[in-house]
Amino acid sequence: GPPPAPFREAPPMLFIRLLVLIPLSGAGCYWLTLYVTAPIIRLSHAVRQFAAGDHSIRVGSELAARKDEISQLASDFDFMASRIESLISSQRNLLRDISHELRSPLARLRVALELCRQKGEAESKKYLNRIERESERLNQLIGETLTLNRYDSGVPLPVESLIDLERLIREIVEDADFEAQGFNRGVKLVSCDNCTVKGSEESLRRAVENVVRNAVRYTSEGSVVEVSLRQSGEGKECHALVTVRDHGPGAPEDTLSMLFKPFYRVDKDRDRLTGGAGLGLAITEAAVRLHRGGVSASNAPGGGLLVEITLPLS
């Protein structure tokens, strides 16, 4: 039969078409390759910059218009970079604050030791007691720093089990009330629902104890710290709510969000006298976060600080 129509054309016309189509196809392939590989190359450069120490590098805004998997990857990179930058910044601030906190007791230790050398045996006993007190404070500071670092590093909880939160809160209140009576203060349990949560009992005990002891420290002399445990919400949103309310001076509104930051103090001079290292509430926040809960502080009506801890029920 006769050859197909394209082959019946004159050879010069076929060559002309090929000469037009081949460059166009090559240009199309080049554009498509560039469209796919250019953002990947940009991401690769950003990763290298980040690894070299430029933690502020971001690429999401440059690739947001694509609306495809690569733009999603860029967005994920930005989220990762922001999180790592925040963690690095927190670690730097923590190291700076630790070095500052360690200088004070170390300086007092040096002074006490020098006075011991200059005084007789009878007089040196007072300075030896001071050395012991400062050493204990240093040991506490180091222990709390290690605990906070372990929580913030994302290490899984040591032991997870079902915890009778009602029993735990009652024990904490009883112990805290016994200690508070020595300072003409008290701690009472206002209400206590039957709640069960899952997690590390040791971590939760320390988290709640830190809040209660902080409340005892700042509540007015002769007053009582009020603690309650109740179920809140419905269905899957049901959770345990622990509230601790003192009758102290409270805190300025603009500092409430900072109370759970490491080494933060509203009144630094007063807190140093009470022996606080500024890590108790930070440990509470980290421990509660590991239990998939949250903690917040507010000024209670009528005065005093109100701290609320929420924990998902098991």
Question: What pTM, to 2 d.p., does this model score?
Answer: 0.60
C-alpha to C-alpha distance for 162 and 242, rounded to whole angstroms: 17
- Better pLDDT: 64 or 190: 190
Contact 62, 74 (CB under 8 A): yes
Contact 308, 296 (CB under 8 A): yes
C-alpha to C-alpha distance for 247 and 221, rounded to whole angstroms: 9
Q: What is the pLDDT of residues 222-237, one digit of tens each?
A: 999 999 999 987 767 7
Q: What is the pLDDT of residues 177-212, one digit of tens each?
A: 999 998 999 999 999 999 999 988 888 998 999 999
Residues with a catalytic annotation lie at 100
Core vs surface per residue 215-250: b (16+ CB within 10 A) or e = bbbbbeeebbbbbbbeeeeeeeeebbbbbbbbbbbb
Q: How far is CA 249 from the centre of its chain?
A: 26
pLDDT tier at 167 (50, 70, 90 boundaries)? very high
